[in-house]
Chains A and B, each alone.
Chain A
Amino acid sequence: MIITEDLSKSFDTFVAVDGISLTVGKGEVLALLGPNGAGKTTTVRMLTSILKPTRGRATVAGFDVVKQASQVRSMVGVLTEHHGLYNRMRATEYLDFFGQIYGLDSRRRMESAERLLTLFDLMDAKERRIGEYSKGMRQKLALARAMLHDPQVLLLDEPTSAMDPASARLVRDSIRNLRSSERTVVICTHNLAEAEELADRIAIIRQGRIVARGSVPALKERLVGPAVYVAEFYNGQGEKSPDLPGEVAWERMDRNHIRFTSPDPATFNPLVLERLLAQGFPVVSLEELPRSLEEVYLQAVLAADGESLDA
């Protein structure tokens, strides 16, 4: 659905995006992470045919972002950094306006608006002026606008940044629904927990370049080492040494815990549990030590800084 090859953008002498190549498939959610000014917004603007790449190319839903800009824009729904709402309009008028711009007939405009206002819990406020909306409501309305024409591709910049937890959950659920209805979603966010929860893959951008990419588990594996599992025993009864499969490297943490790494958790973890129980260890729990995406992110950014310093 989205393919970029060596996508680059410079403003005079400033290189905002430098050779980004990525592919996002149908029904896939990609999270673009990176510090402010890393080039996420510029990338999104190129993918929506607002800015022309200075090098490289990109296609969205099979259309070239330079040569077929109009088709690209018809296929894409964008939640922009600035929500771009008109304070003196009502929500229904606002959605109707954008529906007309996207060429929807009046019946479809009305149906889509009703569906999205209901989905985002804005029906009660639909006749209020947008200027009276709270930040979260404004963000939900902007998201409704992005989804109004049922686009194949959604590019969402900080989709839940101003929302209360309940609204944020609503939005996250709707993004999951988009994925299951085969839509392609790119999220730019600083909310790492959200990215981890929603994204199939993550790309970390630093100074216009992708410095790390992959699924969350793969990135964790690569950047903060293999998963570490902890077995907890009941009431200090873990003092003796367990006899575990040779492929599993383990060490004692204290009387109640051992931790181990496993080359293939799906195969070896059940085996480890089985052996421990068989050897009389009163196992209370077996779990993976939490490794946050934040750690992955910081590692990737630090590595990129080191790389640039080395260069």
Chain B
Amino acid sequence: MLESIRPALVVARRELIDQMRDWRIMAPIAILTLIFPAIMNFAADRMVGFANRYGAGIVADRLIPFLLMVVGFFPISVSLVIALESFAGEKERGSIEPLLTSPLKDWHLYLGKLAAVMIPPLVAAYVGIAVYLVGVYRELGWTAEPSLLIQIIVLTFVQALVMVSGAVVVSTQTTSVRAANLLASFIIIPMAFLMQAESMVMFWGEYDALWWTVLGLVFIAALLVRTGIGHFNREELLGRELDVLNLRWMKDVFVDQFRGQARGVGGWYRTQLWKTLREARTGLLLMALMFVGAFGVGAYLTQMFPIPPGLLRVDNLRLEGLEGFEEIDLFSVKGIPVIWFQNMRAIVLGTLLGLFSYGVLGILLVLTPFVIIGYFGVVLAGSGLPLWEFFAAFVLPHGIFEIPAILLAGSAILRMGARLAAPAFGESITEGVIRSFADWAKIVFGSVIPLLLAAAAMESLVTPRVALWLLTR
């Protein structure tokens, strides 16, 4: 084992020594390790005193752990800069080529560099945390709960891993540090949002929620590492020489993937769409499983968030709940475009979210209605409406079209994420995104839009009547 990773350790050692000799890296790390925690100690002392003076003890209680998290985060933010320098910089200076001609495996180089760019900021973060803890203990007598300390240590590590693995992905797509820095906003902005969310958690005081953050970050880091390894290879690193925006090439790639050799709409359906749907069958299967899972989650949520007894009475629903629905525009022809537009908006939003999260957020969005259906199905079942009747009345008439549409759209979003995480040989991220977007467009234009139109018609015109008939028979 050690023998197999020895080359990676050699690479890491060289990089570490190199960093130690670079004052531009060492100076900020030293400041963030020794001076910044002291400033945070001072801030904690003053703010706790201030908060207590005005009876805001809870703010004071939450402030110290919050600053503990901040002290850990600041030094690891340097890891992003070091990573961009290490990966994109070495590519730009051409010093990576002799390494690529050596017997090093791609993953040796990746792992060695990953370790080297993470170690100094992490050591700095942990030393900073220690300095801060000693300071707050001496000045305020505060000690961290071991569980909180472990959470912060783990959180700091996975945040660094996410930033560095994200930086590698960015670096593989550029030929200069400048370009990599520009693309780094794709890492900085989400991390800024994450920090805000974590700050809310810290002031909320529900520290267990941090484990969910850690879990989510581990998942994202795993996908980023997978993408990084997929793209951090000799072919990609030296095969690309320019960062040129080539719109014509992008259009050609899209058209090639979307239209292929098809002639006419019929031919396109028979060859292109069918081929893409066949390729998407694993995604469809996964979506179907998640679909069932979403119902399960909905059912489970009824225990966590129960509806007070008596609030929802099935008898009322049976007798008067649906009366006068014909008066509502939504349940007439006018409702068809409204419902269709709403569903399409969800699909497009899911796609956009999926683009930035390997499909994860997009899938969560499109599955949300199924969680809600699962929730209400079980709630109504508990109130006396059999589950089959609920489905037959409220879901199935339009669901016959809508559920396949959502499964198809979800599988297209999943495929986009999968293609990013596991690129085809010799395919850049840009090409992968364009081709998977073309596949998405094929599925959406060829099947999802027509299915959603049919579903909207059914939902406006048929479902309410079926529901009325079933509930009042």
Contacts and interface: CB of A to CB of B under 8 A. Distances in A.
Interface string A253-297: 000000000000000000000000000000000000000000000
B263 interface: no
Contact of B98 (A45, A89, A142): A142
B103 A89 contact: no
Interface stretch (B34-42, B69-77, B89-97): B89-97
Contact of A101 (B7, B18, B94, B238): B7
A77 B239 CA distance: 20
B53 interface: no
B62 interface: no
Interface string A1-41: 00000000001100000000000000000000000000000
A97 B101 contact: no
A101 B234 contact: no
Contacts, number: 77
A203 to B, nearest CB: 21
Interface stretch (A79-87, A168-176, A211-219, A222-230): A79-87
Contacts of B97: 50, 78, 80-82, 84
Interface string A83-106: 111101100010001101111000
A78 B93 CA distance: 17
Contact of B103 (A12, A81, A102): A102
A83 B90 CA distance: 12
Contacts of B425: 52
Task: From B10, B18, B98, B239, name the one whose CB has the most chain A CB atoms within 10 angstroms.
Answer: B98
Contacts of A51: 234-235, 238-239
A299 interface: no
Given A101-B102, A101-B104, A84 B96 contact: yes
Interface in B8-24: 10-11, 14, 17-18, 21-22
Interface stretch (A68-76, A110-118, A180-188, A303-311): A68-76
Contact of A78 (B96, B98, B235): B98
B103 A88 contact: no
Chain B, interface residues (CB within 8 Å), range: 20 to 34
Chain B contact residues, majority secondary structure: helix
A97 B102 contact: no
A12 B249 contact: yes
A85 B93 CA distance: 9
Given A80-B97, A82-B94, A86-B95, A103 B103 contact: yes
Chain A contact residues, majority secondary structure: loop
A100 B8 CA distance: 11
Given A50-B100, A73-B103, A97-B10, A45 B238 contact: yes
Interface in B231-246: 234-235, 238-239
A74 B95 CA distance: 18
Interface string B366-385: 00000000000000000000
30 contacts: A11-B239, A12-B249, A45-B238, A48-B100, A48-B101, A49-B234, A50-B100, A51-B234, A51-B239, A52-B235, A52-B425, A70-B105, A73-B101, A73-B102, A78-B97, A78-B98, A82-B94, A83-B94, A84-B93, A84-B96, A86-B14, A88-B18, A88-B21, A89-B14, A98-B98, A100-B7, A100-B10, A101-B10, A102-B103, A103-B103
Interface of A: 11-12, 45, 48-52, 70, 73-74, 76, 78, 80-86, 88-89, 93, 97-98, 100-103, 142, 145
Interface of B: 7, 10-11, 14, 17-18, 21-22, 93-105, 234-235, 238-239, 249, 425-426
